[in-house]
Every structure is written in structure tokens, then in C-alpha cells.
Amino acid sequence: MMIMKILMIAESYPPEMSGGAVYAYEMAKRFGQLGIKTTVLTRKLRHKYKDKKIKNVKVVRIKISRYETAGGNISLGRLGFIFNIIKTTLAIHKDYDVIHCHSGLASECASWVLKNIFRIKTPIVMTLHGTFVGYWKLLYPFPIYIFFDEISKILIAKSNCERYFAVDDGTGAYEFLIKSGVPKSKVIKHFHAVDINVFKPMSIKKSKNTIAYIGRLDPFKGVNLVIEAMKFLPDWIKLEIYGNGPLKKDLINLTKKLNLSKRVKFHGQIPHNKVPYYLNKFEVLIYTDIRGEKNRNGLSLLMSEAMACEALYLSSFFPRREWRCKTWITIKKNEPKEIANKILDYFKNKEKYRKMRKNARKIALKYFNWDKIIELYLNEFKKLQ
């Protein structure tokens, strides 16, 4: 029997432009296009925003407290939001065939409570884009972060969901679930999906002698290291930073302190429909991740989109070892001098990296297919009936 009604819990949803938010939106849109009635429970915004109308998709925004904080922080506001998500789901879950939780603290808490305390019979599936395990260390001192790490492990691994979809390729969420004792039969691993007709190479003028960082300005992103690397590079190399986040003010102050304001420019968040343009605009992009091998997420949505655009990345992290030297330039150490050396090597030897761009696009065409991903989900949903 085809699933006709899906209740989706997504703490992050547009206009937020995180990878998880975009992914939840794109998935809800594609369910709707197939005639599947989908209701999305997400956060009510502080400012006025009219959700885009999508056929068969209804967005319900849940009230949050003025004490709500961004990212993975625990706060009275977030706890209140989690309570309201659970309360709303309990009231309406019987009208749906499946509850689909996207990764995020609220979704993880809700799924655990709904299954372990209220023991609802409606099947719950969880899509994980990574875990908060290892993230708390960047926010709180010892031993507080140890406590939150353990809570994160329990919320995910002991939530008793009927299915777990791990959006990575062997690191992060997938390995965490298996090591935590979740049966392999419950865990489905897949790549991010990308609209390859939108994310594609474009014939536009490149920004000369410029590298770019696109993404949230969070503690684990290591953007400070990229800024510090600019000290060791010649003045003709520039850095453009696109995104918002809790560290933006600190990063701007760091730039001023290092007298790099003329070479390092900050911009706001890029709307998702403009991302293909910016991925094509820059000669090379950069991504550093300071969480360590065991705690990193898998291949992110932006990484996947960049590959589809034949964008070249300098990265301290790339989950697929067999792709690493074929598609991206690897930074072996998260140190400013090492990052600077790799950036300079690119600008001095551009031709030797040209083939990497073509390799990235080929991989995207083979693996990052929305039709296949939606079919995978629907097949698993059918098994739960």
C-alpha cells in the first residue's frame, strides 16, 4: 500500500539554509509532487515569513520561546519547543502513516519520548545528517560536555525507531548507529541527493585569485584557521566568507585583529537558489572540520552540490578515501601554515587540478540522484505497513 500521509518533524526548515533544512524542504516537495500528503512540523519564526505553497505539503510552525538559541545549545526555549513538538505530534499522529524525523535535537528528543514513554504505534523513521556527539565539547567545559554526549547517544541509538536513514558514506551517523547496537536491518545508508539539472557547471566569469567559504559559522567549522592562514599568503589572494552563525562577530573581530579586513570579506547567507551561481563563481572553495575523524559528519549537502557543479574544494576532511585524491585537494593538518601552503600550491599549479573537477561531476551524476533516494524511502515506508 502506498504511503499517503507523512508527518515530518524538521527543526530546521527554510528560510534557514542549513543542509538539513534544505534537505527536509526538498524531500517534502518531492513527496508532495508524487501525491503524498505531507505535513511539516517546524519552528515558528520571530519575523514574518510566508511559506512557499507546495502541492500536498502543509507547513505547521510550532511556537518557540524568546529564550531559544541557535545550533545545538540546550536552553529553556529549546526545551519548550521540544515539549510543543511532542504535544502536537501526540494529538495528530494517528492521522498519518509514518512520522519522519530529520536530525536535530528536537527531532531526536521527540522520537525517543514518543516511542519509549508514550509507545505510539505509528512508525517513526529518522534521517540523520550526522550526530551531536563530539559537538558539545566545543560548547561546554568538562565534565558537562561528557554528560550531553551521553544524552545524545541515548536519544539516537535508543529511540527505537523503525528505520534510520544515515546520510553519509561510512563515517558519522552510520558507524555510530551500528556501534551503538542498532540492528543493521534498520539502518539504510545513502548519499545526499542533488538536483543535477540545477547544480551544474556554468559559463560564468570566475572571481580571480579568490577562495571562498560557504556555510554556517559554527565552532567546529574551523573558519578561524582559514582566516589565520591568510597571514601566510601574499596580498593578492583574497578570502570571501558567506554565511551566518554564532561565531560571526568573533571571526570579524579576528580579521580586524590580524589587519586582514581588506583581504577577508564577510557576506550574509546565500539563498539556496543562488548557491549554484556561487559554487561556479569561485576558482576554489575551502572547508575545514576540527572535530576529529570519529565525530565528523559524512558528505554534506553543500559538498555534494559543489561536486555536481565541478567546484574544486580544499578540505581537511573528505569521507570517501577512494575519492579524496580524485576530486578534492586534501589538507592533511588543520593548521594555518598547512592551509596556506595548499592554497598557494593551487594558485601556482592550477592545471594539475583541472581533472579533479570533471571527476567530481561524474561521481555526482552516478550517486546523488533524487529519484533514487525518494524511491528508497518509499520502499522502506511500504515495508512498515
pLDDT classification of 18: cutoffs 50, 70, 90: confident
* pLDDT number for residue 71: 45
The CATH number covering residue 231 comes to 3.40.50.2000
- pTM for the full predicted model: 0.84
Alpha-carbon distance of 373 to 30, in angstroms, equals 10
Do 187 and 240 share a domain, yes or no? no
* pLDDT number for residue 69: 45
Do 158 and 177 share a domain, yes or no? yes
Pairing of strands 329-330, 187-190: unpaired
Do 144 and 232 share a domain, yes or no? no
Do 376 and 326 share a domain, yes or no? no
At 109, list the grid cell: 528528543
Do 221 and 179 share a domain, yes or no? no
Domain span at residue 341 reads 207-366
- pLDDT tens digits, one per residue of 93-105: 999 999 999 988 8
Phi and psi torsions of 129, nearest 5°? -100, 15
Q: Is residue 198 part of a domain?
A: no
Do 239 and 173 share a domain, yes or no? no
Q: Is residue 201 part of a domain?
A: no
Q: Is residue 133 part of a domain?
A: yes
- pLDDT tens digits, one per residue of 364-375: 998 898 999 999
- pLDDT tens digits, one per residue of 336-374: 999 999 999 999 988 888 888 889 899 899 889 899 999
Q: How many domains does the chain have?
A: 2
b/e map of 104-140 (b: 16 or more CB within 10 Å)? Answer: bbbbbbbbbbbbeeeeeebbbbbbbbbbbbbbbbbbb
Alpha-carbon distance of 191 to 367, in angstroms, equals 7
Do 165 and 253 share a domain, yes or no? no
Q: Is residue 255 part of a domain?
A: yes
Do 36 and 126 share a domain, yes or no? yes
Do 189 and 224 share a domain, yes or no? no
Do 167 and 314 share a domain, yes or no? no
Do 355 and 375 share a domain, yes or no? no
- pLDDT tens digits, one per residue of 122-134: 999 999 887 766 6
